[in-house]
């Protein structure tokens, strides 16, 4: 097996361990907190997500992508990125501190002022270890990241649960978030035994900003849109409605965006190393595309099929309005890995201008869909968001055609077998919910039988993605 394949497999597996152990921990902790806290507590934090997300994007300035893509990175490059990130984080914190009363007034929730001022400190803390994570990503070292993030998540999660049990309400979520950031900073610095030099270099800044600036603008647009629903729902509906939406959204994102995140973090540095080898780049791109869909599609279809017993079993009857929202959101989010891999190809080719152009076009369409679906209520908004997910995938596929010679339709044909098998699997899994056997048994039997059918059909059809996954597992076990 080639060194690229070996590095890809090792990176993907450790990135998956890091990502899913982290998100799995967040999921379990979130389930416990959802039983201890009210939907309005989650809704209140959800109202602030756009401010934190956009601020975080400003802080990064696209430098992380630029550092990962750059073939040779100097001490001055890391130092310049660190100083810029930290300086902007301080400015962002002060801005959020000042506007907090106005945000609380906008949502007509006075208590939001102190919550926003306190949780904003995480922006400064996160800026202190952003470059550490970039350095590890360049080396495809997700094992070290896994140790830090998992430990931070567990300890901060326990703190959040204890505080929620003691009646701290929304503040249990705030202190949990701050604790997680502090622990990540401490552990990454300890494990990496490295800290960027406090050096600012004009040449480094121009080089990093030259590539990263367009990605930065595209990321800002994406971050605003990603959180626009929280603003609209928080303003137009009650806080508990936003709580239902954020819970459904977090459940739907667990498999889709985490698999997308795993592949994105691994494929970007590896594809960047192959940016001048067109043939190998295309082969590996197609492989990543098929494997990601082979994994994500059945997971998302299983969520759709078993949404009701899952919600009832894990977080209880008070969250039942989240069931339909979860099922709808899954339809659009299942294509996230496809979108991310297509965008990575544009990054690798150095076409950040196309990334920005594509982002502007997509978000214009997205806002039109949002405005059109608003009169249809909360369910209508979710349908619109799912529709946008499909539109975004098709547009991304269209823009990468010139680099890989594959039209959107040809790419769809590559992932169609996994989609068809997933639909069959979902039908089998959902059939278990028709029996009055309890939520737990419906989940276990539905999920187990669905997985058996999906894997069995893939094996009988000798799908390449299954073979590649088996080979990857064997190689990882031998290395261990």
Q: What is the pLDDT of residues 160-186, one digit of tens each?
A: 899 988 888 888 888 998 999 999 889
If asked whether residues 449 and 463 sit together in one domain, one would say: yes
Residues 223 and 344 in one domain: no
Q: Which of 39-48, 78-87, 316-325 has the lowest mean pLDDT?
A: 39-48
Domain tally, the chain: 2
pLDDT, position 1: 45
Check whether residue 77 and residue 194 sit in a common domain. yes
Q: Assess if residue 75 is contained within a domain.
A: yes
Residue 31 forms part of a structural domain: no
Task: Tell me if 147 is assigned to some domain.
Answer: yes
Residue 92 inside a domain? The answer is yes
Residue 367 Cα distances to 64, 360, 416, angstroms: 28, 11, 29
226 and 245 share a domain?
Answer: no
Of 204, 221, 236, which residue constitutes the final position of a domain? 236
Q: Looking at the domain assignment, is residue 436 inside a domain?
A: yes
81 contacts 127 by C-beta, under 8 angstroms:
no
Task: Give yes or no: residues 187 and 47 share one domain.
Answer: yes
pLDDT score of 460 more than 90: no
Residues 75 and 166 in one domain: yes
% of the chain with per-residue pLDDT over 90:
10
Q: Are residues 64 and 198 in the same domain?
A: yes
- Is the domain of 232 the same as that of 250? no
Give the domain-ending residue among 185, 216, 236.
236
Same domain, 367 and 417: yes
Higher pLDDT, 114 or 133: 114
Q: Are 130 and 64 in contact (CB under 8 A)?
A: yes
Name which residue leads in pLDDT, 139 or 4.
Answer: 139
Look at phi and psi of residue 2 and say left if phi exceeds 0, alpha if psi is from -120 to 50, else beta.
Answer: beta
pLDDT tens-digit readout, 354-394 = 877 888 888 889 889 988 988 888 888 889 989 998 998 88
Domain endpoint, select from 203, 236, 269: 236
Report how far residue 102's alpha carbon sits from residue 113's, in angstroms, rounded to the nearest whole number: 8
Query: Does 192 share its domain with 302?
Result: no
- In a domain, residue 225? The reply is yes
Residue 24 within any structural domain of the chain: no
Note the pTM of the prediction, 2 decimals. Answer: 0.65
Average pLDDT over residues 187-208: 81
Give the range with max mean pLDDT: 210-219, 312-321, 349-358: 312-321
Are 302 and 440 in the same domain? Answer: yes
The answer to whether residues 446 and 353 belong to one domain is: yes
Lowest mean pLDDT segment, chosen from 19-28, 179-188, 190-199, 319-328: 19-28
Does the residue 303 lie in any domain? yes
Range of the domain at 215: 37-236
Are 368 and 379 spatial neighbours (Cβ–Cβ below 8 Å)? no
User: Coil, helix or strand for 141?
Assistant: coil
- Residue that is written with structure tokens 């929280």 in the block: 230
CA nearest to 257, candidates 9, 22, 8: 22
User: For 402, what's the count of Cα atoms within 13 Å in the CB-facing half-sphere?
Assistant: 6
Average pLDDT across the chain, whole number: 80
């Amino acid at each position: 097996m080639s060194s690229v394949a070996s590095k890809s497999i090792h990176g993907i597996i450790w990135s998956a361990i890091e990502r899913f152990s982290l998100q799995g921990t967040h999921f379990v902790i979130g389930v416990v907190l959802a039983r201890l806290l009210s939907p309005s507590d989650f809704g209140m934090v959800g109202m602030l997500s756009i401010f934190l997300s956009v601020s975080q994007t400003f802080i990064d300035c696209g430098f992380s992508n630029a550092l990962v893509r750059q073939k040779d990175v100097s001490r001055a490059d890391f130092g310049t990125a660190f100083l810029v990130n930290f300086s902007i984080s301080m400015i962002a914190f002060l801005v959020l501190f000042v506007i907090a009363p106005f945000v609380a007034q906008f949502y007509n929730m006075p208590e939001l002022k102190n919550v926003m001022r306190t949780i904003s400190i995480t922006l400064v803390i996160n800026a202190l270890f952003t470059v550490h994570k970039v350095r590890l990503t360049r080396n495809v070292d997700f094992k070290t990241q896994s140790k830090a993030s998992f430990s931070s998540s567990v300890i901060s999660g326990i703190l959040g649960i204890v505080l929620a049990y003691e009646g701290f309400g929304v503040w249990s979520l705030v202190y949990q978030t701050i604790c997680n950031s502090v622990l990540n900073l401490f552990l990454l610095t300890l494990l990496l035994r490295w800290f960027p030099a406090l050096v600012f270099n004009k040449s480094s800044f121009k080089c990093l900003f030259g590539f990263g600036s367009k990605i930065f603008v595209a990321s800002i647009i994406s971050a605003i849109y990603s959180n626009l629903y929280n603003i609209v729902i928080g303003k137009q509906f009650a806080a508990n409605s936003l709580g239902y939406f954020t819970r459904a959204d977090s459940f739907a994102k667990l498999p889709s965006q985490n698999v997308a995140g795993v592949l994105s973090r691994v494929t970007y540095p590896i594809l960047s190393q192959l940016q001048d080898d067109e043939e190998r780049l295309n082969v590996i791109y197609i492989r990543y595309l098929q494997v990601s869909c082979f994994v994500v599609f059945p997971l998302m279809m299983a969520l759709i099929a078993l949404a009701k017993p899952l919600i009832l079993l894990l977080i209880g009857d008070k969250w039942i309005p989240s069931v339909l929202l979860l099922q709808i959101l899954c339809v659009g989010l299942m294509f996230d890995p496809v979108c991310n891999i297509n965008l990575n190809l544009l990054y690798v080719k150095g076409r950040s201008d196309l990334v920005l152009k594509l982002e502007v076009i997509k978000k214009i369409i997205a806002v039109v869909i949002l405005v059109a679906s608003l009169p249809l209520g909360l369910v209508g908004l979710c349908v619109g968001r799912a529709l946008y997910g499909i539109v975004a995938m098709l547009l991304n596929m269209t823009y990468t055609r010139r680099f890989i010679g594959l039209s959107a339709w040809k790419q769809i044909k590559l992932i169609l077998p996994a989609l068809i098998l997933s639909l069959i699997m979902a039908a089998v899994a959902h059939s278990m919910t028709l029996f009055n056997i309890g939520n737990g048994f419906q989940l276990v039997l539905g999920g187990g039988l669905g997985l058996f059918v999906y894997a069995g059909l893939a094996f009988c059809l000798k799908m390449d993605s299954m073979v590649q996954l088996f080979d990857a597992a064997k190689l990882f076990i031998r290395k261990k």
